Structure 1
Amino acid sequence: MDNIGQYIEALIFASEQSIRTEEILYCLQSAFGQDFSEDEINTHLQNITNKYHDSRFAIEIVKLNNGYQFLTKKDYHQVISLLQAQRSKKKLSQAALETLAIIAYKQPVTKPDVEQIRGVNCDYSIQKLLEKELITIVGKSEALGKPILYGTSALFMDYFGINDIAELPQMKDFASNGVSIGEQSE
């Protein structure tokens, strides 16, 4: 089959989230009733990736969350950010961002734990994050009352452009070296 690369490209384009190689294999094998090797798919993925490295294209294929997704190239982020600012209805509130950060760094975490850290009720923020599919229910705690445990979702990984939670900035990255209390000794 000569145009398999075009089918792979179409699958990546049509996917709302990053699409894994296994998903591509499943779709192609189901659609055409023939076996494709993972190496064959990876070769096509590399060819498609190389194609979109060309400066004529404003988009590229990026590997995210162990899958592939079309994204706008960094050269165009300023213009895209204007569009996103215009559509700020989907923007997360400060409370939702704080809640999401706590869940991302402390996961799996319960709502009472999040509320303990924030010092306020988080019902609304957690509900909004669940609706936006940035967090997901990952189980129940063994604590009294068996509260629900929350963690980040695959959409969170796609949205923030990371493959693994370990790629989140560490607390030391936020530390400011300019402010200190007390005397410094040499």
Structure 2
Amino acid sequence: MDDQALQGVLEALLYVSAEPLSLERLTQVVGGGLTKGLVYNALQRLQHAYAQAARGLQLVEVAGGFALRTKPEWAPWIGRLKKAKPAPKISRSAMETLAIIAYKQPIVRSEIEQIRGVESAGVLRTLLEQKLIRIVGRKDIPGRPILYGTTKLFLERFGLRDLNDLPPLRDFKELAQPVSPSCQADQTSTVEIHEESPPETEKADHDRIPSELAPPVSP
């Protein structure tokens, strides 16, 4: 496979994928005995090609993988589409809680509330529902309280490759501006991407709202 064909294959795979694809996954799907180095170099050339032209898309490295995203300068036109849905807004209290979890994870609810000085069950429940945080385990202390951490969606939402990309804490709120919407998969495409499923326990924890965060029931 020559370089132009390889770039075309990679572009197609990234286009139909609903989430970022890692270099390892792309190399596996492309096959043909190509190394990760060759695939990475092709991705770099494709990224450069998108950056040089006045095109609507860009190739970005985010959440441990690569993805096609619309360029920020075209956001006003994208917003005119009836089906374009902006990312859910994050309240000030949720942003504060999310910042604490991002920088202190894994962390339990009592530690979050000690830092914030207020009760945080409702905010944690909202962040779990938005899949920006997840349950990562339980702390080995009496009562075994739940430990919280951020998710892959958190990295995508804030345009981070990994947690090492977190800015200084004072600058974190600037990241609350939603990143440009991801390119949607072509529903008529015959290419199918099979991503590895997360461990069953992690998937269950990610979707479950713990009873300790349940809103009080009126008598």
Q: TM-score, normalization: structure 2?
A: 0.65
Distance 1:65 1:149 in 2: 21
Distance 1:88 1:54 in 2: 27
Query: Counterpart in 2 of 1:25?
Result: 27
Identify if the C-alpha distance between structure 1 residues 82 and 135 changes in structure 2 by more than 3 Å, giving closer, same or farther.
farther
User: Which structure would you say has the larger RCO, counting Cα contacts within 8 Å and 6 or more residues apart?
Assistant: 2
Distance 1:171 1:45 in 2: 31
Q: Percent identity?
A: 36
Question: Residue 90 of structure 1: SS of its match in structure 2?
Answer: coil
What runs of 5+ residues in structure 1 fail to find an aligned partner? 175-186
Rg larger for: 1
Identify if the C-alpha distance between structure 1 residues 125 and 69 changes in structure 2 by more than 3 Å, giving closer, same or farther.
same
Deviation string 1:58-112 (CA, Å, 9 cap, x unpaired) is: 22111123311122334335656788xx845721222222211111121110112
Query: Counterpart in 1 of 2:49?
Result: 51
- Aligned residue among 7, 10, 17 for 2:9: 7
Dislocated runs of 4+, deviation >4 Å: 77-83, 86-89, 171-174
Query: Counterpart in 1 of 2:135?
Result: 137
Matches within 5 A, 1:143-182: 143-171=141-169
Matches within 5 A, 1:45-124: 45-77=43-75, 87=85, 90-124=88-122
RMSD: 2.8
As a proportion of its length, which structure holds more helix?
1
Alignment: residue pair count = 169
What runs of 5+ residues in structure 2 fail to find an aligned partner? 173-219
Distance 2:125 2:49 in 1: 41
In 2, are the aligned partners of 1:17 and 1:155 still within 8 Å (CA)?
Answer: no
